[in-house]
Amino acid sequence: MQRFFKIIIGSVFVVTIFLYIESNCIEVSRHSIHSSKIPDSFLGFKILQLTDLHSKSFGKDNQRLIKKIKKINPDIIVATGDMLNSQNDQGLVFLNLAAQLTPKYKILYIVGNHEQIARIHANKMNFNWYTEYIQKLKKLGVIVLEDEKAIINKNNEQIIIYGLEIPLMYYSEAGTPMQVEFSEKYLINHLEENDRKKFTILLVHTPLYFSSYVNWGSDLIFAGHMHGGIIRLPFLGGVLSPERDYFPEYDGGKYELENSTMVVGRGLGNYTINLRIFNRPELMVVTLDH
């Protein structure tokens, strides 16, 4: 009996350590994007994606995360939403992170569904913390793209980065089908007609509408939202999406359609299901090439 309890205690200890490592040890994934539309000045240009932080800290003041980012030394950082939690914080973790990164790195930021929910709750309570959160980010130098574009210049050449806010109506509730159809017309109406001669990057939160992003003319899409499927199985990928769909199509990694590429970050934090198995927090690095 004593040996049995030792085995149980040992097993619990091992599982606890494993789960801690899976949720707290950051992986760096690297991808190269090839396109003849990439200007020569941007060859080797490194883009780092932060997504789905959900106010998680990796060490005091996120020093472990910052150390990883500085080692990568990207040319630009894109944050693709859900950097805070919708109800239980005021974005202080991401504000602190941005304050430490913006002196050296340009950060482009779009909101995800959690920022939208937080904004709704703040408005209902007549408490303008969310507005102040966005204003503080902008004051730090973060470029908040709200259905807007940023032109990145280098040696008289440029690439264009669009940021799209996808309303909550296009995120299905858990276990329910989508009620509203999304198409490239939405991008045309809220952004503009895309200049297909120039290399165009699109920042979105959800990857669900990949074909619409491609039809609009995106060359490279950054998305998140899926948390890597929470649990990842060999040969099968992520198990569960935030919408509670099993084995989502775009759970994480690199996807190609026609001449376009979408990279889906597995994210850094958790929400609701505070668990990651074979799915460590991820920093995605994309390098541009011909």
Instruction: Tell me the domain boundaries of the chain.
Output: 2-289
Task: Say whether domain 2-289 belongs to CATH 3.30.1330.20.
Answer: no
Please answer whether residues 29 and 284 qualify as being in contact, where contact means their C-beta atoms are separated by less than 8 angstroms.
yes
Find the Cα–Cα–Cα–Cα dihedral 88, 169, 110, 230, rounded to 10°.
60
What was the pLDDT predicted at 275?
84
Q: Which residue do the tokens 């930021």 mark?
A: 109
pLDDT of residue 174: 52
Angle at CA 267, nearest 5°, toward 138 and 158?
50
pLDDT in tens, the chain (290 residues): 677 776 777 777 777 788 878 899 999 999 999 999 999 999 999 999 999 999 999 999 999 999 999 999 999 999 999 999 987 689 999 999 999 999 999 999 999 999 999 999 998 887 889 999 999 999 999 999 999 999 999 999 999 999 999 999 998 765 555 667 898 999 999 998 888 889 999 999 999 999 999 999 999 999 999 999 998 998 889 999 988 889 999 999 999 999 999 999 999 998 877 789 889 999 999 999 98
In SS3 terms, the chain reads as CHHHHHHHHHHHHHHHHHHHHHHHCCEEEEEEEECCCCCHHHCCCEEEEECCCCCCCCCHHHHHHHHHHHHHCCCEEEEECCCCCCCCCCCHHHHHHHHHHCCCCCEEEECCHHHHHHHHHHHHCCCCHHHHHHHHHHHHCCEECCCEEEEEEECCEEEEEEECCCCHHHCCCCCCCCCCCCCHHHHHHHCCCCCCCCCEEEECCCCCCHHHHHHHCCCEEEECCCHHHCEEECCCEECECCCCCECCCCCCEEEEECCEEEEECCCCCCCCCCCCECCCCEEEEEEEEC
Q: CA nearest 223: which of 260, 177, 274?
A: 260
Q: Are strands 157-163 and 200-203 parallel, antiparallel or unpaired?
A: parallel
| Nearest Cα residue to 80 out of 225, 254, 205 | 205
Per-residue confidence (pLDDT) for residue 194, from 0 to 100:
87
According to the model, what pLDDT value does residue 124 have?
86
pLDDT at 177: 56
pLDDT of residue 88: 66
What span, in angstroms and rounded, lies between the C-alpha atoms of 100 and 108?
15
- Give residue 273's pLDDT: 72
Q: How high is the pLDDT of residue 83? A: 98
Q: For position 259, what pLDDT does the model report?
A: 93
